[in-house]
Structure 1
């Protein structure tokens, strides 16, 4: 009997790896032919990351029911993220990357001379600038190289989200979620450049994975993933940390505890400890965005300021008031789907509009899965966490009155929406259709 059918999956994987390495060799060859020191450094970084990626991807796909698909799509996503990085350079979609590069180069030079004065700030832009400088100090200055590194971090964040999904919803549609999280255009594009977006997706995915593991089982590894993810987010975007921590609190409330007569005591103690930690984190986030207090008045003033600051440029639009039921109802499609095609005033806006319509069509097509997920939030803490996160995210980011900024920021929301879309697996759909 032929052994080919048994060996075929391994053969496919080997052929794919060979094809991937051949394409990579061609890319690196292009880097090397330039004979520029920064480009050469980028080639070295790409070579090292490729070697590490093959090991990480193999380990992540080992034992996964969709392991072969996961491994293949990780390679494809890595290649597409390299193209996305090139596209952002070619079209000048680099946002603040040049600022981080310039400041990072200065910090690296000061470190080399031993004259660095230390951190000027520990959160937000200053943290990313310092991290850029530390990377440049270790690898040498290369904007291309650090862009590849940041794109790789973004890919790992997307992998963490997949692991979170399969941990929280093991009966969900793994392949559909894989396709969405690894191949969705916004996820590829906005997490493939030097900046905050790739890093925050990396740490947000890590924290979500830790939360999902803790919901299923109290364990040290889950707590470590959660702690590192939250700490990383706190350094980059503290306000996102506040949104995530509140949503994690919803998960804690629904987590089953079986300890007999001690159950109420354990739950109350845990809630008190969580409230103390969450309060400290939320105050840190509030101070980062210059909120004097968390009163409705101060939050409203902050959102008004954000609307005025972002109502600039060709992508600006008239914002709604999310404090009213009607205003919030309008804010939901604004954050998720806009700009609509008739609102697009340039090629990039038209691309974003097409993507938004695609997401809307997918939600309609998978309406049964989305409805099933939303209907079960009262029984599943992981679902409740995704819903609370989405509701808070939409509320606060409705303050942004610029389509360009919203299109970039909502990569921090899409992974949770994708979980609703992929919530029902094939077996669930067949059972419900009977």
Structure 2
């Protein structure tokens, strides 16, 4: 918790004295306007908090004219409203508001930790490293911004899925927690939910199908479950995003191209850390062609020689650790044996599938390493925890094989 607090304060320091502005600064500025309204006329301030933006009310005009994020359905304005509510408890002090965001983030990371430790009880130390001490998580995932709330909510969705759908315990409580957390993600970054849903459905199927004793029934039911799960995921994706200017499935290819081109052009103008994966044509097929390179970029870049400043160097060192750890497992165990472990261990299937889908989506649409390091935060708990679990499983398998060989030799000697 102290480390999360340190990260929250450090984000503010970096944005204030290194970047000289940025999203965190703008969130606080917008929330300051709302807070001024609350202290001047509480009714007007409350109306600014309750509206999702875009409401043209003469009483609100003196305030919304100062806020360029005051637009209908704006996720940025939503964060500003939440920040203003937090500010009511501390005279609207930036540092304390940032610590409150860190607290929300920490609660979700703790939910991640509880769930993974229940799945692999003997790995509490390795999982603590993966979830609490990764620089990107306790730095970019702790400050005043979208990422802190999203990673916190995602942790609770993961926890609710495990308690309700896998353990089948306290199902009503789990459903309430899951729906509330999923709705928070839906309001802020719905694409996180869309990437998690297919992987979560596969996880539930794998966990429950392993309980089917009859191999014939299990074999027959597998394609049926996949078909139902795929249909539910597609329906959810199209329904949740219908009409959304940013995430509508029918427009997602075009929107990704616009976003990627814009971020890259800004990076070039500011001599930033832009990257190009290839030419986006504005279609989902075009995105799919760039998916393999996008996955590599999200997980293992920037490379050390691509780091242009101290902040990016830290990200490059972290990405290099992911790459070395991954290659170490594949080379030691073997590619096909590693895939077998992944496909036969439900939590590994969930973690790697979500990580790959999410890495592809953010890698294609970002085009800037500085932005990517923040956008990819939701995949880090799953990917790094999965690597540690996979490493432990391979070691356990090797120990069991060695024990069996020793037993066999003893029997032959007898």
Q: Do the structures match in fold with TM over 0.5?
A: yes
Distance 2:378 2:91 in 1: 30
Partner of 2:312: 349
1:190 and 2:140 equivalent? yes
Size of the alignment, in residue pairs? 355
Aligned to 1:419: 385
Using the TM superposition, name which of 244-253 and 189-198 deviates more: 244-253
Select which of 341, 348, 355 maps to 1:390.
355
Which of 193, 205, 215 is 1:253 aligned to? Answer: 205
Q: 1:131 offset after TM fit, Å?
A: 0.9
1:9-408 to 2 correspondences below 5 Å: 74-75=1-2, 77-78=3-4, 80-81=6-7, 84-85=10-11, 87-88=13-14, 89-92=16-19, 95-112=22-39, 113=41, 114-116=43-45, 117=47, 118-119=50-51, 120=53, 121=72, 124-170=75-121, 173-219=123-169, 220=171, 221-256=173-208, 279-280=235-236, 282-285=238-241, 287-292=243-248, 294-295=249-250, 298-311=251-264, 312-313=266-267, 314-320=272-278, 323=286, 327-367=290-330, 374-399=339-364, 400-408=366-374
CA separation of 1:248 and 1:94: change in aligned 2, threshold 3 A: farther
Match of 2:58 in 1: none
**Structure 1 gap ranges (5+):** 1-73
Distance 1:238 1:327, change over 3 A: closer
- Structure 2 runs not aligned, ≥5 long: 54-71, 280-284, 403-414
Q: Is the 8 A contact 1:245 1:278 kept in 2?
A: no
1-structure distance, mates of 2:84, 2:334:
43
Q: What TM-score does the superposition give when structure 2 sets the normalisation length?
A: 0.74
* Residue 410 in structure 1 maps to residue 362 in structure 2: no
Please list the CA deviations of residues 90-137 of structure 1 after superposition, one character each: whole Å capped at 9, or x if unmatched.
Answer: 434863112111211222232341213331145621211111121223
CA distance in 1 between counterparts of 2:25 and 2:319 reads 29
Cα distance change, pair 325–107 in 1 and its aligned pair in 2 (3 A): closer
Provide the TM-score with structure 1 as the length reference. 0.71
2: CA distance, partners of 1:392 / 1:94? 32
Deviation at 1:373?
6.5
Cα 1:194–1:136 change in 2 (3 A) is: same
